[in-house]
Structure 1
Amino acid sequence: MFKRVVGIHVGHDASACILSDSGISMHLREEQLSSVKHFSGFPVKALQCIKKLIGSEAPDAIAFSTANPLYPATENSWIVDLKGSTSDLTSRYPNLPEHLRARSSTLSYIYEGFEERLHTSGRSLKALFDLGICDRTPRFYVHHHFSHASCFRVMGLDFSKVLTADGRGDGISSAAYAISSSGSLSYIGHRAAEASLGALYQCATEICGFLGIDSEYKLMGLSSYGKVDRRWADKIHEVVRSRALWSWRPYREVYPERSPNNPLQALVPIPVLIDARRDLASADFAATVQHVFETEMIGLLRDYLEPGDRVFCSGGLFLNARCNQRLVREFPTSSFQFFPDSGDSGLAIGCAAAATGRTLHDFTPFVGQANKCVDTECESNVLGEWVRRPTDFAFLVEQLLLGKCLGLCVGRSEIGPRALGARSILVNAFRADLKFELNARKRREPFIPVAPSVLASDASRLMELNGGEEFMLKTVNARPLLQEIAPSLVHVDGTVRPQVVRDDDTSIIAEILREVKRRTGVGIVANTSLNRSGYPTAGDLQEACECLNEGVVDFLVLGDEMISRKLGPRRALN
């Protein structure tokens, strides 16, 4: 087995990681380093950071999260297919040069205007060379869905089944595996891209005017405000079950009036969704699509699950928190663990885990970009004048309860899209205008719900918990007490999407929750990601300071030190 493996995901949500005997040494999302949300392409900057971490010692192996080879064969190039079978690259692709030329031609068309992000660009090849990758370094090309599935290895928990579900990774929309007592994955079955529920949701998101492969959470949030139209739901069900032939085209062709900053592919809208959207109000259309999506996901799981299964779930569709709640409710005898980085950025972890073949322990999601102390160089690059002082939790909570927004940029950032206290914005949960205030500061739609972080000792009296709420990946029903004391936290459908924090946790967010409980009797705050509108979650101090400078937050906690504005923001909010 290899002791140190670099995992690389090339494409949407590009990322890289280094996996060792002790676990995930580092996992970096290119979006946080480039300030391009959902960065699509090759993770050059992420690999440069990994190079600084490992120094001159080259990794033992490198793994890519695709079964489609990216580079010419070497003597140690391997394919790991959907079923987990490993074969020599040249035997699997006897006409490899022709395959690479065809792939290059396709990608060149998709990446028009973004050519520097291709894996064959000079910057990309230099990043690999600087890392110490050479012809003798073992290379693994791991199937997209086998990479998703292999993420179970870093959780260190006991599972019996693994389910993956996303758009069309390596031509597949979902897959299922059993886990043996020795920890190996045994293939059960899969569904092809023609049955993609991810395609359904992306297409509906784009028809609603939101950016696909980015704003699906907006469709999910909007769906709670509408009513399901059974007539249109039946028609959409019929099309989905007939295995609609989804068609992807470059975004610039399907929606020429929109200009995303990524080389995205949009879905050509299918007639039934176009007609449904014309006939229904936006919220009713979203509710109808969400209903179809949940029903079809339940059907997918019924094909593979047995009573009592301990299920690990990974893939972008398992970021739909409303659907996850429905799955837990529909399969009461099974237990579920949703991977914190279920989107494609988690694939770097999965392909590296597949190459090592080991099951690791002591999982923590805080293995991302490190924070740095405030210094002159950083301050000179960020507008604003800061007041610096030692972190005072009593003062911070006093300001929080007075209506100020606190930003947390402490330690290593979280993997995945959820704010878990390392890159968070915290707001007084008891404010009546909480959702309006926070959505206005972040310049996002008013229907977007706000999630809470809550101490475990208070969680069960505020919410109907059923386990696995530590990563904000599923909604639960709010109890009457929560609706009474913090109504703005409760979505219009009566649910919340909580992060439950252990009372004895040593993190800064736990310290704040304990101080809030001391003052109010309940340890709860509103928690959302630390970012500006249109930008990814802040990775480093400079981006976090931009949130402070633009008035997204009033105080910024950096660990032992906190900063605030002296003269106020220099750029007014729109």
Structure 2
Amino acid sequence: MIILGVNGWIERGHDASAALIVNGEPVCAVEEERLIREKHAYDRVPVTAAQFCLDYAGISPDEIDKIGVSWNFPFLYKLHRREWAGSQTLSHYLFGSEEYAQKIEYVDHHFAHACGAYFPSGYNDALVLIIDGQGETFSTSLWWGEGSDLTFIKGYDVNRSFGYLYSAATKHAGFRIGDEGKTMGLSAYGSPRYKEFLEKIMYMDKNGELFTEIKSTPNPSCIDEEGEIIEQWHNHFEKQIPPSKIPLRQVEGNQCYADLAASVQMMLQEMVVTMVTKYTKKLNTKNVCIAGGVGLNCQLNGEILSLPFVDNVFIQPAANDGGTSLGAALALCSTNGEDIKRNMNVYMGPEFNNKYIEQCIKKRGLPYRKCSAVEKETASLLAENKVIAVFQGRLEFGPRALGNRSVLADPSSFQIKDKVNVLKGRELWRPLAPSILTERQEEYISSDYVSPYMTIAFPVTDITIESAPAIVHVDKTARIQTVPKDHNMTFWNIIRHFEQLTDLPIVLNTSFNKRGEPIVCTPDDALNTFIKMKLDHLVMGTYIVDYRE
């Protein structure tokens, strides 16, 4: 069976994406933003992403058996007393024809998230936790995964949204909604002095019941309650802290916003840990799967993994709505009895051969050379304190760059952190992540837990603070990417050669994009961003490009 999963719509849509599953195996997945160069691809149907999936697999829309949509739009629009545009309209957007409407099936949003978290985990059983702004009716939901089945356990309504609470704090600090990762990073600089005040507005009792003063109801003016709920939180925050009128560029002089971030972060962690504690024990499982935008909160994920009764945590690498295209396709696989290949491959996007890469470089007139030992040469340049962009293999699925569309540097100098943040246009206080060889992880990270997708923050060891200060956050944690040899051989080899030169099995790794832009997808994207960022070198395929004014 061939199943196409899609996420994205022209009203209140974000993180549009498409994924294709053939006979139970995901073969490709990509976010629309990477292809059209518009970050988050707001209010977009994933036309380009869907076409990429079909082209990659060499199939036409006629050969698709089912199309899974990651929102139950007919129900959602009815809930808001609106009329849904219809499957014919969606089919026309996707393929330029209404004839594929009968193949479209709508999947409840949180069920799409849950399938995207549970099935790729490979666990035989798990508590599945979905936390985001909202789905059709729930903002948080819990599921029981056992074998090939997923069963709904409990849901919290939209007024109790952890995601909207976090977004409200993000906006109050002067950031854009969608920049919640900045709030997470900022929280480490603060103390939770507003937590007691905030718990008068929303709190959870020891039994996992969640109470709130936030009130909203579905209405025809909008198909979600985001604006209404965030405005209510904003009014509560304002009783303690004025909203920042500009984006927060430095912590100094803005301690109240760091304290707000710390308060919201601690509230989130305590409430989610209460839920996980109750339901892992009730279900008698030691495995937890997580998705939804809040699933990208690596500090929260670290807290969950540190619980003594939790052995394994799997976070869908594309935990945000971009991952629900894969989840919707997996949901239809499950309901149609397909034998699902239950592992996660994050490298599922476009790739380009050396011939095409060289043609793109030649058009720019930049100095370049072909290298027979490109991994070793990349490591040598890193050891010379060069900042290097790497463009290799298939594009990553999800918001993290995991070695194929990355900017790399030597983490042994704290100053390199500031340099890379400046080159990317990021705030200097924001942390940067490490990629580390699995074989030596325990020396540098206070856990041997393999975390290949940069989704969990771990405390670091003293040797890391001394030898790799550029990747240590102010709270002495790091959001690591463990690099097993069999996950990404090229990237593993780069780090291995760097280790042989420096005795440091770690490189600083951040996404290859300028602030406000999506991660690069094509060689032309890479060359444009390389030039704008003024990096030292760009490694694409077997070619090394040198920067010049």
TM class by shorter chain equals 0.7 to 0.9
Q: Which amino acid aligns with 2:345?
A: T
Q: Partners of 2:173 and 2:22 in 1: how far apart?
A: 43
Q: Which amino acid aligns with 1:172?
A: F
Q: Which runs of 5+ in 1 are unaligned?
A: 70-91, 106-117, 254-263, 570-574
2:122–2:342 Cα contact (<8 Å) kept = yes
TM-score of the two chains, using structure 1 as the length reference: 0.82
Q: Secondary structure at the match of 1:268?
A: helix
1:58–1:133 Cα contact (<8 Å) kept = no
Equivalent residue for 2:157? 192
Alignment of 1:292-303 (within 5 A): 292-303=267-278
Q: 1:525 aligns with which of 498, 501, 507?
A: 507
Equivalent residue for 1:75? none
2:442–2:448 Cα contact (<8 Å) kept = no
Equivalent residue for 1:8? 6
1:7–1:64 Cα contact (<8 Å) kept = yes
Task: Give, in angstroms, the shift of residue 351 of structure 1.
Answer: 0.6
Q: Partners of 2:15 and 2:393 in 1: how far apart?
A: 22
Q: 1:425 aligns with which of 407, 412, 421?
A: 407
Task: Give, in angstroms, the shift of residue 496 of structure 1.
Answer: 0.7
Per-residue CA distance 1:146-187 (angstroms, 9 max, x = gap): 000111223433333211111111121111111234x11112
Equivalent residue for 1:50? 53
Per-residue CA distance 1:502-545 (angstroms, 9 max, x = gap): 24655221111110111112211000111112101111111111
Q: Could you tell which deviates more after superposition, 554-563 or 11-20?
A: 554-563
Q: Partners of 2:346 and 2:308 in 1: how far apart?
A: 27
Q: 1:162 aligns with which of 128, 139, 152?
A: 128
1:454–1:499 Cα contact (<8 Å) kept = yes
Q: Partners of 2:200 and 2:298 in 1: how far apart?
A: 25
Q: Secondary structure at the match of 1:412?
A: coil
Q: Secondary structure at the match of 1:102?
A: coil
1:164–1:176 Cα contact (<8 Å) kept = yes
Q: Partners of 2:134 and 2:308 in 1: how far apart?
A: 26
Per-residue CA distance 1:79-100 (angstroms, 9 max, x = gap): xxxxxxxxxxxxx89xx9x889
Q: Which amino acid aligns with 1:276?
A: Q
1:337–1:468 Cα contact (<8 Å) kept = no
Equivalent residue for 2:473? 491
Label 1:447 to 1:441 Cα distance change in 2 as closer, same or farther (>3 A).
same
Task: Give, in angstroms, the shift of residue 345 of structure 1.
Answer: 0.2
TM-score of the two chains, using structure 2 as the length reference: 0.86
Task: Give, in angstroms, the shift of residue 323 of structure 1.
Answer: 1.1
Per-residue CA distance 1:374-419 (angstroms, 9 max, x = gap): 45764587x5624132253333222112121111111111111111
CA-atom RMSD in angstroms: 2.9
Q: Which amino acid aligns with 1:459?
A: Q
Asked if 1:237 is matched to 2:199, the reply is yes
Q: Secondary structure at the match of 2:200?
A: helix
Per-residue CA distance 1:88-123 (angstroms, 9 max, x = gap): xxxx89xx9x88992469xxxxxxxxxxxx99879x
Q: Partners of 2:365 and 2:227 in 1: how far apart?
A: 38
Equivalent residue for 2:429? 447
Task: Give, in angstroms, the shift of residue 320 of structure 1.
Answer: 0.4
Alignment of 1:111-150 (within 5 A): 125-129=92-96, 134-137=100-103, 139-150=104-115
Q: Partners of 2:227 and 2:366 in 1: how far apart?
A: 42
Q: Which amino acid aligns with 1:225?
A: Y
Task: Give, in angstroms, the shift of residue 238 of structure 1.
Answer: 2.0
Q: Partners of 2:532 and 2:54 in 1: how far apart?
A: 33
Per-residue CA distance 1:1-48 (angstroms, 9 max, x = gap): xx1100011121010111112521110101101111111221111122
Asked if 1:368 is matched to 2:371, the reply is no
Alignment of 1:466-545 (within 5 A): 466-503=448-485, 507-545=489-527
Q: What is the number of residues matched between the two proteins?
A: 508
Alignment of 1:44-443 (within 5 A): 44-53=47-56, 54-56=58-60, 57-69=62-74, 102-103=82-83, 125-129=92-96, 134-137=100-103, 139-151=104-116, 152-181=118-147, 183-212=148-177, 214-229=178-193, 232-241=194-203, 242-245=211-214, 267-270=230-233, 271-278=235-242, 281-306=256-281, 308-357=285-334, 358=338, 359-373=340-354, 374=356, 378-379=360-361, 385-390=366-371, 391-443=373-425
Label 1:140 to 1:539 Cα distance change in 2 as closer, same or farther (>3 A).
same
Q: Secondary structure at the match of 2:268?
A: helix
Q: Partners of 2:509 and 2:215 in 1: how far apart?
A: 37
Q: Partners of 1:127 and 1:209 in 2: how far apart?
A: 36
Q: Partners of 1:416 and 1:246 in 2: how far apart?
A: 33
Q: Partners of 1:161 and 1:101 in 2: how far apart?
A: 34
Label 1:564 to 1:228 Cα distance change in 2 as closer, same or farther (>3 A).
same
Label 1:376 to 1:396 Cα distance change in 2 as closer, same or farther (>3 A).
closer
1:477–1:494 Cα contact (<8 Å) kept = yes
Equivalent residue for 1:256? none
1:548–1:564 Cα contact (<8 Å) kept = no
1:4–1:59 Cα contact (<8 Å) kept = yes
Task: Give, in angstroms, the shift of residue 334 of structure 1.
Answer: 4.1
Equivalent residue for 1:20? 22
Q: Partners of 1:498 and 1:157 in 2: how far apart?
A: 22
Q: Partners of 2:295 and 2:50 in 1: how far apart?
A: 27
Q: Which amino acid aligns with 1:165?
A: I
Task: Give, in angstroms, the shift of residue 51 of structure 1.
Answer: 3.1
Q: Secondary structure at the match of 1:444?
A: coil
Label 1:456 to 1:49 Cα distance change in 2 as closer, same or farther (>3 A).
same
Q: Partners of 1:158 and 1:121 in 2: how far apart?
A: 39
Q: Partners of 2:487 and 2:158 in 1: how far apart?
A: 42
Q: Which amino acid aligns with 1:547?
A: T
Q: Partners of 1:275 and 1:509 in 2: how far apart?
A: 49
Per-residue CA distance 1:350-380 (angstroms, 9 max, x = gap): 0110101143135311012223544576458
Q: Secondary structure at the match of 1:163?
A: strand
